[in-house]
Structures are given as C-alpha cells and as structure tokens.
A and B are shown apart, each in its own frame.
Chain A
Amino acid sequence: MTRLSDQAVARLRDVVAWPELPPERYEVRRLLGRGGMGAVYAAFDRRLGREVAVKVSNAPSAAGDLEARLRQESRVLARLEHPGIVPVHDAGELDDGRWYYVMKLVRGQTLGEHVPSLRGEAPVLSVFERAAETVAFAHAAGIVHRDLKPSNIMMGSFGEVLVLDWGVAKILGTPPPGEVPTDVAGPTPGDGTASGTRIGTPGFMAPEQQRGDASTAGPAADVYSLGALLYWMFTGRPAPPTADEATLGLAALPDAPSRRLRAIVRKCLAESPADRYPDAGALVQDLARYRAGLAVRAHRESPLERAGRIVDRYRAFILLILAYLLMRALFAWSQRL
C-alpha cells in the first residue's frame, strides 16, 4: 500500500466532502474555497448551459447551526433582488443531509485586491457608495448583514460591486409565514445569535457585536462596519478602537480626506449606536450631500467653513462673476481715459 502524500490526503478529503448534486442538472467542477460555514464549488448547470457557484454547508454541529445559517443565507439572498447582491438560482438538500444553494458565479476581485488600484478620494468613494447602497437596500428590506469586511465585498469583471456572505445576516421584524428568522425566534444555543455570542470580524464589527450583543445588533452595527470599511479603504488598516483615533488616523494621511468626510467616518464609528447614522440609507444620503458639496449631517460647520464650502461648490460660477465684474471695471476704466 503506497504512502499517500500530504497533497493526496488533502485532495482525498475534498473528494470525500465532494457534493453529490443532481447529476442530470449539475456537474461540480472544482472547489473554489472553503470557509467556516462550508465550501463553494464551481459547477456547470447542464440545463441552462452556464457555470454557477454552489455553496454547500459543512455538516451541522449538534445544534445544527451551520445548516441553519446556510438556509438563512439562501433565503436572505432570495429576498434581496439587487444588482449588488449575488442572485440565488436554486437551493436544496444533498443526500447526505447537507444544505446547498446555487448562485451566480462571480468573476472578479475582492475589495482587498482591488483597493490598491484606486487612486484618490473620488474612486474610493464611488466603490464604497455602491457597497453602502446595497446594504441600504437590505436595511430597507429589514435585513442586517452583520459581517461587512473587505473580503465580503467583490468587484465584478464589469465594475459591479457585490456584497457577499449573508450567512450571519439577521432578518428584522415579523417573519413571513413559515419562516423563523434567527433572532426573532429568540436566542437558542448554537444559533450564533445567543447572548454572549460574537458575530462579525474584529476591526470591522461594532462595539455591541464585540461585547457579544449580537441579538441586539441592528442596522447601526452595519453602519459601524461600513465606517470601518471606508477607514480601511483609505488607510489599509482595520478601524482603531475609538472614533477619535480613526479621525486622527485619517487626518494624518498624506492625502487626508476632507474634514467633512472624516466626520462622516467618525459618525459611523461612534461607540453608541444612537450616535451613528440610523441605517446605511442615511449614510448614503449624507455621502451624496458630501459629493454634491452640501452640508453633511455628520458635521456642524463654522460660518467660515460654510463660506469655504459654498465657495468651493460654486467656484466656477463665482469665478465667472468675478471675471465679469473685472471686465466691467476694466471697461469702465478704459472709458474714463
């Protein structure tokens, strides 16, 4: 009996866990990646003649939390029809009891791979706003992501910005008939939302999530994560523990974002959820105001700042008037001669 190499053992582990999808419909081609909840495979949909991605849960633990999360994720995704969210095509249960769902195969880069190519504030904000708009859409539909971080944002080949991994998302409010949202059902051991359970990623999760208050984390927790994401896009580092430190960190950059933009990040990273934007929609609106040169909710301006902003916003118009006045003055002066 030949000794198997480490590589062969690793491959055979994958073979053992290889999902047996209905062969008349799907041909599973390769393993794309493996995470805590399960594995993602590239498969060929024979019926529709296209490549798809298939996410398969790991075997459930005694509490069945992984399977429940994957089921939850597929339902959340199915509910959220938005260009920034990967559409789900199919879902089901394998013969061995594992849950799977089939989705669009996204080709592109993660935000981590893409950000170094972004130069300056405008391109960074352009990408960030699209991710934030997707989260705003989810919030409007009563869904909180709870694990926003660079690896969960994907840049598609055609520039589309996709928010991935809704496995720990929470559905707010009353569930539709037949559905038992994780948190509305109340904390149960192992469902990942019980009191004291941490959900999220250090450096990107809100203080209330770090404390293990996952069941109380609402849209404002996502706002915190978005602020941390924006901070990371500018600095390449996770957010520091306090909003003050984050503001100082941004101000110290060679191409420091403007004071008003720093204030927006600061508001997102506030310790108390009540001091943040109530949801991603409010953040998106403030960013739109910022880009339009209007006053932002995150920052109370001094009269001088307001004048400076107005000058900045109407710079062309003001220059035109000044040029006109100068010409009039020159004309009047020439008439006197």
Chain B
Amino acid sequence: MRFPATRQSVLERVRSEDPGVRRDAFGDLAEGYWKPSYHYVRLQWRLTPEAAEDAVQAFFATAFEKHYIERYDPAKSRFRTFLRVCLDRYVQNLRKAAGAGKRGGDATVLSLDFPGAERELDAMAAADLSDADRFFRDETVRFLFARAVASLEASCAREGRDLVFRVFEHHDLKPTADTTYATVARDLGLTVSQVTNHLHAARREFRDLALQHLRAISGTEEEYLREARDLFGLDVSA
C-alpha cells in the first residue's frame, strides 16, 4: 500500500511520553474534528456562535490537559463516538457551571475558522439531528473530504498540476447533469484521453489523502481499517 503502515495510531501518540508527539496528535485530532464539533454543539446544544467557539476550543484544550482521550477504550466504542460523548459531557458541565472553561496553558490554542464554520450553518437548516451519532459521523466525513479536497488542490498548485485539479473539480466535485469526459475535455481544451488520465491521477491522490486524514483521526489502527471499510468500502490492510 501507499500508506505509512508503521505510523502510530492517534491513541498511541496521545499516550506518548514525548510532549511534542502528544501535542501533534492533539493537533491532528482538533484539526479533524473541530468543525463537526462546532456544528454539533451549535445545532444539537443550540449554543450561540461565541459560546460554541469557546466550548470547542476549550474542549480540545481541556481534553489535552486532563488526559480525556487517554481513557478511550477501543473495545467499548468507536473513537468518534467516544469523542462526541466527551463533548456532550463537557458542554453539559459547562452549562452546569454556567461559564466557559479555561483554555489549557500547555495546549496549543488553535487558529480555527469559526466564522467560516458559522456561515456553513445556513446550508444545514434541514439537518437531521434525531440521530446524534449519525449527524456527527456525517459531518466528520464531510469535513474529512473537504480537507482532502483542499490538500489535493494545494498539492496540485504546488507542483504545477493545476489542470489535474481542475479536471477533478469539473468531473467529480461540481459536475452538472450533462458532465461527461467529453464536456470536460471541451471546457478545458483537452483530449478525452487527457481527461481520463488526469482524473485517474487526481482520484488516486484524493483517495490517498482522504485515507491519510481518516487515519489521523481514527483512535487505533484497527479502527482506521474498520472505518475505511465501513465508510468507503475499502480494504487498506494490505
């Protein structure tokens, strides 16, 4: 496989003796989960934008300080579910205390685009909140894909392969009902063969990026394999 097979799981990294490794692991977790968490507390807990922003920042900071994540037991639940339940409890406690928690001193205060996340809420008016776990999962996958798309775009731009990303964008990201290889070829001034080759490359890279992001937010290696299978129908164990 093209994926780093020896990479430690998030849980192992979070439990690391090395403060740098531990902080990076938290950074990965916060990066992968902040937006689903923000949308979740805004819609499920009906916090104001400011309160939701504070709660999410404080949640990850407190989880880092108080070693919440280290208590995760893979035998009991998925990591994503565990994190959501921690978040629920955290917001519940915040409400009880009627005040926001303090941000941890040793933890990185994350620079996150909360206003951007807030703007997305307009598109979520019809979100089904009856199943909290499902909502959190769907938002996590949505954000994971968005990050993979952004990574692909950045990688293509960095390596002068903008055309590869544009083919991917036209065909897979924003297709219309009439989109075919031929229409993409016509729109971008390419041959159909070039379109299929670029698309092949882009999809392969996108898949690798999506899986890398998934691995970074999965609690354990086993869970990563299971998530890849359940979410995408892929076997990445080879």
Residue numbers of A with Cβ under 8 A of B are: 1-5, 8-9, 11-13, 15-18, 20, 23, 27, 29, 38-39, 58-61, 67, 95-98
Contacts and interface: CB of A to CB of B under 8 A. Distances in A.
29 contacts: A1-B116, A2-B146, A3-B123, A3-B142, A4-B142, A4-B145, A5-B123, A8-B174, A9-B141, A9-B142, A11-B175, A12-B149, A12-B172, A15-B206, A16-B207, A16-B210, A16-B211, A17-B232, A17-B234, A23-B200, A38-B233, A59-B228, A59-B229, A59-B234, A59-B236, A60-B229, A61-B229, A97-B235, A97-B238
B203 interface: yes
B204 interface: yes
Nearest to B122: A3
Interface in B196-238: 196-197, 200, 203-204, 206-207, 210-211, 228-229, 231-238
Contacts of B174: 8
Interface string B172-208: 1111000001000000000000001100100110110
A58 B233 contact: yes
Contact of A15 (B142, B147, B203, B211): B203
A96 B235 contact: yes
Contacts of B148: 12
Contacts of B138: 9
A61 B235 CA distance: 9
Contacts of A97: 235, 237-238
Give the bracket for the number of chain B residues in contact with chain A: 35 or more
A5 B174 CA distance: 10
Given A95-B1, A98-B235, 16 more contacts: A1-B147, A8-B145, A8-B173, A8-B174, A11-B172, A11-B175, A12-B210, A13-B141, A16-B234, A17-B234, A20-B204, A59-B232, A67-B235, A96-B235, A97-B235, A97-B237
A18 B142 CA distance: 18
B73 interface: no
Contacts of B123: 3, 5
A25 B142 CA distance: 33
What 9 pairs between A and B have smallest CB-CB spacing?
A59-B235, A59-B229, A3-B120, A97-B238, A58-B233, A97-B235, A16-B232, A17-B233, A12-B145
A15 B148 CA distance: 12
A1 B146 contact: yes
B17 interface: no
A15 B199 CA distance: 10
Contacts of A67: 235
Contacts of A38: 233
B18 interface: no
A59 B233 contact: yes
A1 B238 CA distance: 32
B40 to A, nearest CB: 14
B233 A15 contact: no
B159 interface: no
Contacts of A1: 113, 116, 146-147, 150
Contacts of B120: 3
A18 B207 contact: yes
B200 A58 contact: no
Interface string B141-168: 1100111111000000000000000000
A304 B113 CA distance: 88
Contacts of B141: 9, 13
A96 B236 contact: yes
B207 to A, nearest CB: 5
A58 B229 contact: yes
Interface in B114-153: 116, 120, 123, 138, 141-142, 145-150
A29 B228 CA distance: 23
Nearest to B2: A95
Contacts of A15: 172, 203, 206-207
Contacts of A13: 141, 231-232
Interface in B30-87: none
